[in-house]
């Protein structure tokens, strides 16, 4: 019985091959290769092709629009805060494993900028909004590791207990940027300046009783 299955499988495999090197052969699960949705990074422009996939609403029927003029690649981006002279290189050229180095050396440039109390309050409020969008579902409203996702994900620490309470601002920034163990990096979602705003807010959660 087993042999029959092997024979059938081999026959199907062989017959699905084609001589033409550019031909992918018979596709059994078509929609896994060519999704119904517009594919941003690949598109089939030949209208006769059964998998024709091009967006009629865009110029030249492109599936992905070109980035707007003057768009900067994130790694080339320097954050300069008004006239403060504070510049944050997008990456501090610190290795992802160098938690201790970041913890010791990176200082929050936003603190230097916010000489007025109203500035600090505004930054903290923005930090809270960002925290709510990006961290709360795991870390919980009060940073106790009890967010809706955190409860299922497990292993999410409380900010105000144990070693995490002692995490410096540089260490928190590094964690958001590169992730740590089971926590993923958030570098692609949150720009460096916004990460520092979140750090300000996480610090208030570290210092709660
Ligand atoms: C998918 C769930 C998840 C999300 C979203 C998440 N975290 Fe975490 N976080 C974790 C887990 C799990 C750990 C424990 C990592 C470990 O095992 O060391 C952790 C650990 C941490 C730590 C402690 C690092 C240390 O020193 O041990 C900090 C600080 C932290 N997260 C901040 C954040 C911030 C800020 C955000 C939002 C930008 C965020 N996390 C988003 C799951 C998450």
Which pLDDT band holds residue 179 (cuts at 50, 70, 90)? very high
Average pLDDT score over the chain: 85
How far, in Å, from the CA of 182 to the mean position of ligand 1? 8
pTM, 2 dp: 0.69
- In tens, the pLDDT along 15-72 reads 777 777 777 777 778 788 888 889 888 888 899 988 899 999 999 999 998 888 887 7
Contacts of residue 104, defined as CB under 8 A and 6 or more positions apart, other chains included, come to: 168, 170
- In tens, the pLDDT along 70-83 reads 877 765 555 554 44
All CATH 1.10.760 domain ranges of the chain, comma separated, are 74-206
Closest atom, ligand 1, to C-alpha of 172: 29
Contacts of residue 79, defined as CB under 8 A and 6 or more positions apart, other chains included, come to: 87, 88, 90, 191, 192, 193
Q: Assess whether the C-beta atom of 139 lies below 6 angstroms from ligand 1.
A: yes
Query: Do 89 and 78 touch, CB atoms closer than 8 A?
Result: yes
Asked: is 74-206 a CATH 2.30.29 domain? The reply is: no
- DSSP SS3 for 88: strand
How far, in Å, from the CA of 166 to the mean position of ligand 1? 14
Q: Can you give the pLDDT at residue 83? A: 46
């Amino acid at each position: 019985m087993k042999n029959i299955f092997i024979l059938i499988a081999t026959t199907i495999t062989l017959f699905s091959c084609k001589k033409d090197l550019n031909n992918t052969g018979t596709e059994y699960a078509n929609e896994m290769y060519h999704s119904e949705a517009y594919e941003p990074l690949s598109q089939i422009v030949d209208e006769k092709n059964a998998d024709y996939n091009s967006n009629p609403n865009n110029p030249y029927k492109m599936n992905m629009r070109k980035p707007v003029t003057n768009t900067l690649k994130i790694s080339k981006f320097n954050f300069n805060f008004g006239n403060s002279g504070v510049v944050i290189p997008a990456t501090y050229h610190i290795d992802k494993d160098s938690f201790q180095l970041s913890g010791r050396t990176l200082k929050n440039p936003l603190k230097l900028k916010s000489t007025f109390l109203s500035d600090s309050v505004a930054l903290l409020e923005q930090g809270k909004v960002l925290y709510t969008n990006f961290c709360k579902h795991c870390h919980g409203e009060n940073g106790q590791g009890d967010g809706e996702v955190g409860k299922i994900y497990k292993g999410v620490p409380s900010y105000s207990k144990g070693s995490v309470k002692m995490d410096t601002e540089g260490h928190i920034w590094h964690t958001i940027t590169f992730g740590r163990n089971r926590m993923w990096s958030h570098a692609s979602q949150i720009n460096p300046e916004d990460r520092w705003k979140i750090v300000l807010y996480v610090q208030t959660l570290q210092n709660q009783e």
